[in-house]
Amino acid sequence: MPDSKEILYSARGGLWRLGVSGENGPVRLPYVGDHGQMPSVSRPQSGRPPRLVYVRNYMDGNIWRVQTSAPGATASTPPAMAISSTRLDDMPQFSPDGRRVAITSDRSGTWEIWLTDPDGSNAVQLTSMAAVAAGYPHWSPDGQQIVFHSNADGQWEVYSVPAAGGKPRNLTSHQAHDAMPSFSGDGKWVYFNSARTGEQHQSIWKVPASGGGALQVTTAAGYAPQESPDGESIYYVEAIDKPSALWRVANSGGTAVKVLDGVLQANFAVLSGGIYYIDQPSGGSGTHYVDQPAGETRLRYFDFATRRVTTVAANLGSVDLPITVSPDGRTILFPRLDATTNDLMLVSGFR
């Protein structure tokens, strides 16, 4: 503030003021709402109180569905909205039986893990981390547990929470960032990516689902690990901020093998017969919502038997990560940004 006695800042979607003395806690500006960012206050002028200017940022992201007649078959209809709200819904993951979907959403004001039916009905909030973010949920094979990442402890950690509800448990507890977890097929391990070796890149690690020390799986750059349905291999991308190669390494160790190129934002799902993935022919980058004209992102399928790649659906729009596939391989869900608005707001007589 111009008098240097307070600071004005944005957090958890709103604007807050805090005395620099630290005697009192932060106070939220009630008239700004849930979408305030980037505040700026004018310097006082004679006979005129300061004015506040801020950006009101609104984004609406939803979960969309692609339906096919068989795994890898071309979709006969365009993508359709499946799970929606007036807030941001993101990062879907089908339960092992296909009856429920775990998502991350800011419906409660902060990013939390929610569970819904595949059509968006019967939504319930699973976590209350009250952190900047909680996301990337993945189910255990028996559907009893969900792992996710959150920065509730200051850095990204991997947590596990019962799907029926309960207190999340920190599985990684390390000063390095640990993120993007998924279960092994037998439910005994949780894979994740981490920079705990001090390298510039992150690599693949795993930790016992019951808790314990982590083991390094790869030394090369790796993100978003997924175990193959047969449990023999681990798939991962080498980058998440740009289209990336998809790699496979044997669970028993050995040299990694490149499977295909051009996977966008770790958007891939491994089935027994092939791999669904999203690519972007024109290129692009960004770890959240690739903002390209409609038609620049597409869903593709790599068939293990024929080694052929087919386009399942196009015109996906501005996508985020990750995709998820139903147990029968015929329904694919992906997150998409459907609306974004930035307005410049003025508050006269701000005190």
32-54 pLDDT tens trace:
877 889 999 998 788 888 899 99
Between these two residues, 351 and 51, which has the higher pLDDT value?
A: 51
The closest of 291, 294, 299, 288 to 265, measured between CA atoms, is 288
- 243 preceded by a cis bond (ω within 30 of 0): no
Q: Are residues 117 and 193 in the same domain?
A: yes
Q: Are residues 46 and 66 in the same domain?
A: no
Q: Is residue 1 part of a domain?
A: no
Q: Are residues 44 and 124 in the same domain?
A: no
Q: How many helices (H) and strands (E) does the chain have?
A: 0, 29
Q: Is 102 exposed, middle or buried (0-12, 13-18, 19+ CB in 10 A)?
A: buried
Encode pLDDT of 110-156 as tens digits: 899 999 999 999 999 999 998 888 999 999 999 999 999 999 988 99
Encode pLDDT of 155-212 as tens digits: 999 999 999 999 999 999 999 999 999 999 999 999 999 999 877 789 999 999 999 9
Encode pLDDT of 308-330 as tens digits: 999 999 989 999 999 999 999 99
pLDDT of residue 293: 46
User: How many domains is the chain partitioned into structurally?
Assistant: 2
pLDDT of residue 294: 44
pLDDT of residue 57: 86
Q: Are residues 128 and 255 in the same domain?
A: yes
Residue 21 is which amino acid?
A: S
Q: Are residues 248 and 127 in the same domain?
A: yes
CA dist 257 and 246 (Å) reads: 9
Q: Are residues 161 and 45 in the same domain?
A: no
- DSSP-assigned states of every residue in 276-333: EEEE-TT----SS-----TTS-EEEEEETTT--EEEEE----EE-S--EE-TTS-EEE
The range of the structural domain enclosing residue 144 comes to 60-339
* pTM flag (> 0.85): yes
pLDDT at 257 > cutoff 90: yes
pLDDT of residue 295: 46
pLDDT of residue 283: 57
Under the phi-then-psi rule, with left for phi > 0, alpha for psi from -120 to 50, and beta for the rest, what region is 168?
Answer: beta
CB 93 within 8 A of CB 137: yes
